[in-house]
């Protein structure tokens, strides 16, 4: 397993499923599990240790509200940590609280923070894939091919729109 996706609550699964789908589409083996920086700190520490022993190279962590999961993981590993802040209906701040909790880390414990929710989930996967591709030419090729597909989709949409105009 090359990447671990850790979510702070089972209620985060729907927002983070796109992350797993992107990794699947690129053929990247990953773990997708629930753990909490606050309620199950020992479980979180155990998962980090087991993932590292199993060859995990990157952690993607997603949480809402106080959103300390990514920071807690970053404090316990030297592997790259990507944080996905999640909005939460229980928050009066619409995800800003999670964004600030994820992005504001002390020096030496970085968390690469992406956008909120689904867009962030997808970009966390793309960022992790890009990091792995630094030493994996085959993966780099799959990423390039996917981006070429995105470009073709835009060209197709533009051609369709041009016919309607």
With a cut of 60, say whether residue 140 has pLDDT above it: yes
Domains of the chain: which residue ranges?
3-134, 137-165
Reported as a single tens digit per residue, the pLDDT across 24-71 is 999 999 999 999 999 999 999 999 999 999 999 999 999 998 899 999
Q: What is the DSSP string of the chain?
A: --EEEEESSGGGHHHHHHHHHHHHHTT--EEEEE--TTT-HHHHHHHHHHHHHTT--EEEEEEETT--HHHHHHTT-SS-EEEEEE--TT-TTTTHHHHHHHH---TTS--EE--SHHHHHHHHHHHHHHHHHTT-HHHHHHHHHHHHHHHHHHHHHHHHHHHH-
Look up the pTM and report it.
0.94
Query: What CATH number is given for 3-134 in this structure?
Result: 3.40.50.1970
Residue with the two structure tokens 């997708």? 32
User: How would residue 89 be classed by pLDDT, with cut points 50, 70 and 90?
Assistant: confident
């Amino acid at each position: 397993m090359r990447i671990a996706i850790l979510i702070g609550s089972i209620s985060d699964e729907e927002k983070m499923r796109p992350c797993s789908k992107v990794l699947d589409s690129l053929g990247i083996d990953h773990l997708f599990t629930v753990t909490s920086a606050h309620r199950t700190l020992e479980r979180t520490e155990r998962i980090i240790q087991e993932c590292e022993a199993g060859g995990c190279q990157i952690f993607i962590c997603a949480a809402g509200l106080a959103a300390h999961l990514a920071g807690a993981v970053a404090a316990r590993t030297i592997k790259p940590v990507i944080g996905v802040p999640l909005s939460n209906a229980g928050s009066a701040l619409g995800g800003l609280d999670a964004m600030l909790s994820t992005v504001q880390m002390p020096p030496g414990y970085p968390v690469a923070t992406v956008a909120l929710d689904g867009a962030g989930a997808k970009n966390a996967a793309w960022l992790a894939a890009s990091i792995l591709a630094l030493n994996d030419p085959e993966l780099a090729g799959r990423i390039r091919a996917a981006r070429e597909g995105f470009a073709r989709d835009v060209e197709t949409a533009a051609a369709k729109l041009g016919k309607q105009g």
